[in-house]
């Protein structure tokens, strides 16, 4: 039976670059892939899957709350690759799970594990629950040389834990961070905000 994979990492860990490299390898072997991304991710264009290194490809399917992958035709498909999987509804993760054993097609999902408030995204939670293989795509903290595990959000140059869980952005807004640096940055920003409100 084919497997469902979840490859997660913090922001800036080259997840999308990894996905595009895997896509290239399949195509070099003249195998057919299906590229999927959430419809809400329009940072680089509606259909584009783009890495920070500049490589990009067009998605075959855009996912929203009403998507039913099980109604699709997967004849001849050798692998499904999913970008920004954290934004997928849990029911779509279950559909990918079903495709792996009903159609015997592997599905490799790339995404963040948690949001900038340290909470699991719905798609990531479901992947952690049902994936056959869970792999970390490692990177280093923006502020030190430790391994990054957090996604630190900045607004107006200051770290913050406020705002909606889904708040699209790239390196201008989010930084990979280890837990100590994440905590220090947030506490420092909160102290500055408190001092400003008291003055």
Active site residues per annotation: 84
Separation of CA 154 from chain center: 18
User: Per-residue DSSP letters for 136-196?
Assistant: E---B-SSSSSBP-EEEEEETTEEE--S-S-----TTTEEEE-HHHHHHHHHHHHHHHHHH
For residue 147, give the nearest of 12, 7, 6 by alpha carbon.
12
Rounded CA-CA distance 53/187 in Å is 32
- Residue 33 CB coordination number (10 Å): 21
């Amino acid at each position: 039976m084919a497997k469902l994979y979840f490859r997660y990492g913090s922001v800036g860990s080259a997840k999308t670059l990894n996905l595009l490299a895997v896509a290239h390898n399949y195509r070099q072997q003249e195998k057919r892939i299906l590229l999927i991304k959430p419809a809400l991710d329009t940072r680089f264009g509606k259909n584009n899957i783009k890495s920070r290194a500049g490589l990009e490809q067009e998605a075959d399917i855009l996912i929203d709350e009403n998507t039913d992958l099980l109604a699709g035709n997967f004849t001849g498909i050798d692998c499904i690759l999913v970008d920004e999987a954290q934004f997928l509804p849990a029911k779509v993760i279950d559909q990918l799970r079903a495709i792996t054993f009903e159609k015997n097609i592997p599905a490799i999902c790339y995404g963040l594990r948690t949001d900038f408030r340290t909470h699991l995204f719905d798609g990531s939670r479901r992947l952690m629950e049902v994936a056959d293989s869970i792999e970390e795509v490692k990177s280093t903290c923006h502020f030190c040389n430790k391994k990054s595990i957090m996604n630190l959000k900045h607004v107006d140059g200051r770290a913050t834990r406020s705002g909606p869980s889904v708040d699209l952005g790239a390196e201008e807004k989010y930084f990979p961070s280890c837990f100590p640096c994440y905590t220090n940055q947030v506490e420092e920003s909160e102290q500055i905000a408190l001092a400003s409100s008291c003055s």
